[in-house]
Amino acid sequence: MGVKVDRSFFPVKWGWIILSLFSAFLLNLSFPYPGHSILAWISLVPLFIVLLTQNLKRTLLSALITGILFNVFYLNWMKEYKHPASLPGGVLVVLLSFVFASMLCWFLIRLPGPHKRWFVSVILGTAGWLAVDYLKTIGYLAFPWGILAYSQYRILPLIQSASVLGVWGIDFVLLFFNMTVAAVLVEIRFFKGLRKNRVNIAVCGLLLLLLVAYGLWELREERREVFRTARVAMVQANFDPWSPQLDENLEVEMDLTRRSLRYDPDLVVWSESSVPIPYEYYLARGERHAVKVHNFIRSVGRPFLFGSIEFDGVVQNDEYIGDFYNVALFYNRGRLEDVYRKIHLVPFGEWFPYGRIFPFVSRILEEAGAGDFTPGTEYVVFDTGIFSFSVLICFEDVFGNLTRGFMAGSPELLINVTNDAWTWSEKAEVQHFSISVFRTIETGRSLVRAANGGVTVCVNPYGRVIDSLPLFVTDFLVCDVPLQDGDKTTIYTRFGDFFPKGVWVFLIFCMLWSFVKKVIDRMKKKNNM
């Protein structure tokens, strides 16, 4: 059954609990804030030691302890949400991923077969954890917070491989390194552990060398490349997203925009929900706020993008009957030219598609004041006449495969409009931003983020920050943004998440092969009796 280790590793009876606590501590230090990314290379070692040496029950309890403590501090900003009943999904995804990943790795490492060597066991354990990380990025409950690779967002030479493998290349190397260190340490005699894991150590060194070499090569290309630029003005109004003071908020946004016009921007961008009314519906009926915004944008006289709400339906007895969309509206040449409807809505917080199956959940969410939006279906590319761009709303910029969907339309720039100000947390803002950095490298496009409270920033196609605003200040940012030729693609853009999908195929094959071999061995044993 897999490799054999010395179960006397723990000097005290409850050593596995101490290791669980230590892993949670290291993980929290690895991610923003404080973001000591170097610690990510050993943050899972204590948990992996438990996984390698203890029974399934202790492994699952250890994963649960680590997951709970990690969540308590890593996602503590979620407590600020006005409707906490509508946001259980993210916390559950991060917490349960620890338990599921640990369980899968425990079984994979102990699969019957000829892999008595540490190398194959470490590969299987690493693949199992990465496979669960991938599951966190797909489906209704997708919430990719806590994927170890995102802690490395500031180390540019290391993360350029995202243009080929997405975030999964660096994630695999990080996990493999953690698993290898754990495999070395579980041996009582340290040098014996080094000798048994010499192949793992060599592979770790080779993978790191390849990642850094590729990254340095790409960054050399960055210095050589000459980009066409577009000047974009981003407005960070920094108002309370729950505030009913619409007139005051609009005045702040308009004043900042007027000041930004001195720099002659090619495009003005307001944040998500900067005009938090059913704008088009109200404008058609002459509602004063909608008319005020419309007249102001026309007076600006240049391309303009802002976040709002779209209502498609009718109003009867003050009741809105129809579909609501979270949208980004694009004005060009003084008229409303196009609209993007948010495709990936926040689970529970913006929609719950299973109301007929779980009506009691729908009632709870309704009482909590959660939104009831309809997801969009089209990947829209806007054209200013000078350059083209696509928009990601709210946390859509944390999903690589979703962002990749826009590349079929060959946009030259990516823009994220978001409103995370409800968290009033620097940690939350930087966590969101750190994940979005990888979208620039994956797609080969610059990313402009216009956020209500932050991070308002401009990032080039190599993940390098060009300029940004401090968090939670009322200000604007004007930046000359590098534009990428719309026809240029990356390997990730062409093939997407082929690496984690391939990992799942590999793991399923290993499990089926192990099962078939076990059945054959039993049949042989029975025939020999």
Lowest mean pLDDT among 114-123, 132-141, 221-230, 502-511: 114-123
Q: What is the pLDDT of residues 72-83, one digit of tens each?
A: 899 888 876 655
Lowest mean pLDDT among 4-8, 143-147, 168-172, 375-379: 4-8
pLDDT of residue 480: 97
Q: What is the CA radius of gyration of the chain?
A: 25
Of 91, 187, 206, 104, the residue nearest 146 (C-alpha): 91
Please give the helix or strand (H or E) that residue 200 lies within, else none: helix 198-224
Backbone torsions φ then ψ of 229, nearest 5 degrees: -125, 160
**Cβ burial 102-133 (10 Å sphere, 16+ → b, else e):** bbbbbbbbbbeeebeebbbbbbbbbbbbbbbb
pLDDT of residue 86: 47
pLDDT of residue 359: 86
Q: Average pLDDT, stretch 138-150?
A: 94
d(CA 315, CA 206): 64
pLDDT of residue 189: 59
pLDDT of residue 11: 55
With 60 as the cut, is the pLDDT of residue 8 above it? no
Q: Average pLDDT, stretch 129-136?
A: 96
Backbone torsions φ then ψ of 36, nearest 5 degrees: -85, 85
pLDDT of residue 227: 86
Lowest mean pLDDT among 2-11, 208-217, 311-320, 367-376: 2-11
Report pTM: 0.91
d(CA 203, CA 192): 18
Of 379, 370, 419, 371, the residue nearest 399 (C-alpha): 379
Cα–Cα distance list, 291 to 208, 249, 251, 298 (Å): 57, 15, 14, 11
d(CA 396, CA 137): 11
pLDDT of residue 318: 74
pLDDT of residue 200: 84
Domain 228-343+378-494 matching CATH 3.40.640.10: the answer reads: no
Give me the percent of the chain exceeding a pLDDT of 70. 92
pLDDT of residue 224: 83
pLDDT of residue 4: 52
First-to-final CA distance of the chain: 23
Q: What is the pLDDT of residues 479-526, one digit of tens each?
A: 999 999 878 899 999 999 999 999 999 999 999 988 888 888 778 777
Do residues 439 and 397 make contact, with C-beta atoms less than 8 angstroms apart? yes
Q: What is the pLDDT of residues 51-67, one digit of tens each?
A: 998 999 999 999 999 99
Q: What is the pLDDT of residues 189-207, one digit of tens each?
A: 556 667 777 888 899 999 9
Mean of the per-residue pLDDT values of the chain:
90
pLDDT of residue 370: 75
pLDDT of residue 1: 44
With 60 as the cut, is the pLDDT of residue 418 above it? yes
With 50 as the cut, is the pLDDT of residue 328 above it? yes
- Model confidence at 23, pLDDT cuts 50, 70, 90, reads very high
Compute the C-alpha angle 275/287/393, nearest 5°: 20
